[in-house]
Amino acid sequence: IDRIDVAPFTARGIVQDYKSGKSVHSARAIDAELRLQIPLYMLVLRDLVGIEPLGGVYRALAGRRAARGMLRAESEEDVPGFSKRDYLPEDEFWTQIETARTRAATYARRIQAGDVRHDPKGDECPAWCDLWPMCRVPRA
C-alpha cells in the first residue's frame, strides 16, 4: 500500500496506489480485468488496520496524473473529485471486494497444489509482454 488517507477524527479512509505510468483503472476495469490489488488493499485496511475503507484508487505519476479506482457512492461528499463512474453502490462495492478475495484464494490454492501453469487473463498474453519468445501462450 503506497498511501492511506484517513479522515480526521474518524477511522475511515481511502487507499492510494501510485503507478509510474499514465494508465489507471476504473471500477469497471478493476473487476473486468480481474485486478486484485486495490480490492485486497481495502480488505487489509478494514481487517488488519481497522480503518473503514471509503475507496481505493490508482494514481498515475505520469501524463495527466489521473486517479481512478473504486469508491463507495455514499462517500462521494467525503471523498469528492473522482470519476462519477468510480463511485459504486454499497452492495456492488462490497461484492467486488469479496469477489477479489475469492479470486485471490482460488489462485493461492492452485499454487499450494503445485499448479503454476501460465494462465494469463483473457487467455492471451498482452501485446506488450517481452517474454513472448519463450512463452507458449498465443499473443494478442
* DSSP assignment letter at 132: G
**What local confidence, expressed as pLDDT, does residue 139 receive?**
57
**What local confidence, expressed as pLDDT, does residue 137 receive?**
65
**What local confidence, expressed as pLDDT, does residue 65 receive?**
84
Of 7, 27, 28, 37, nearest to 71 by C-alpha is 27
Q: Are 68 and 25 in contact (CB under 8 A)?
A: yes
- Can you read off the three cell numbers belonging to residue 56? 481505493
Walking along the chain (140 residues) 10 residues at a time, the average pLDDT comes out as 92 93 86 92 96 95 88 93 94 96 94 83 69 66
Determine if the pTM surpasses 0.85. Answer: no
- Can you read off the three cell numbers belonging to residue 29? 476495469
Rounded Cα gap, residues 75 and 22, in angstroms: 26
Q: Kindly list the domain boundaries of the chain, sorted by start residue.
A: 3-115
**What local confidence, expressed as pLDDT, does residue 84 receive?**
94
